[in-house]
Amino acid sequence: MHRARLTLLVGLGVALAATPGAARAQTVVGVQNLAFGTVIPGVPVTIAPTDAVRAGQYRITGLFLATVTVTFTLPTAMNRVGGGASIPLTFLNTSGQWDPAVGATTTFNPNSPYTAFVWLGTTLVSLGGRASPAPSQLGGSYTSNIIMTVIIN
């Protein structure tokens, strides 16, 4: 029985070593755009990270017992497709939401790096923001990219 326990322990150790945070097949993907929808000139629009439909979303998978740090490359404006105008874009200190498979959902400031420990499973990162079109904002479609980088320690 003693040998069996040791064998089990070794087996568990090998299994864990084969799948720690840095060695597993982690994936970080953008799954949903931060969509302000139809915007009225002169009327600011704020989207909360809890908005399941309009908030931007990223999914981190494949982590196991890993400390991760997420940083965002946040645009200061959305640019009009075809040029000629932009809409100021800001992110509040509560615009980020960290929703792990294990543990509590927390709000964070996406303007600064955010570090958290991931036990296992899929983590959903949501991002809200605020668009402030001018009263004379030129009509049309506006867009910009938001990059999230995840450093897995």
Partner 1 sequence: MNTASKLSLAVVTLLAIGASSAQAQSATISATATVLTPLTLTGAAPLAFGSVYPGVAKTIAPGDATSGRFTFAGAAAAQVSFNFPSNPVNLTGAGTLPIGTYTGLHNTTNTTTGATAFTPGVTAVLANLSGTGALFLFIGATVSPTPTQTAGAYTGTITLNAVYTGS
Helix (H) or strand (E) holding 113: none
Helix (H, G, I), strand (E, B), or coil: what is residue 48?
A: coil
Nearer residue to partner 1 within complex by CB, 38 or 104: 38
CB of 72 to partner 1, least distance (A): 10
Q: Which of 152, 153, 149 is nearest to 71 (CA)?
A: 149
For 143, the token pair is: 């867009």
In the stretch 40-79, what mask flags binding to partner 1 with x, by CB under 8 A? xxxx-x----------xxx------xx--------x--x-
In angstroms, rounded to a whole number, what is the distance separating the alpha carbons of residues 124 and 35? 17
Q: Of these, 1, 4, 17, 104, which contacts partner 1 (CB under 8 A)?
A: 17
For 150, the token pair is 């995840």
CB 14 within 8 A of CB 59: no
| Residue 145 token pair | 């990219």
Contact by Cβ (8 Å): 55, 34: yes
Task: Please list every residue from 77 through 96 that binds partner 1, using CB under 8 A.
Answer: 78, 80, 87, 89
> Does 118 engage in binding with partner 1 (CB under 8 A)?
no
Query: Shortest Cβ distance from residue 125 to partner 1 (Å)?
Result: 9
CB closer to partner 1 out of 28 and 96: 28
**Site of interaction with partner 1 (CB under 8 A):** 2, 6, 9-10, 12-14, 16-23, 26-43, 45, 56-58, 65-66, 75, 78, 80, 87, 89, 127, 129, 131, 133, 135-153
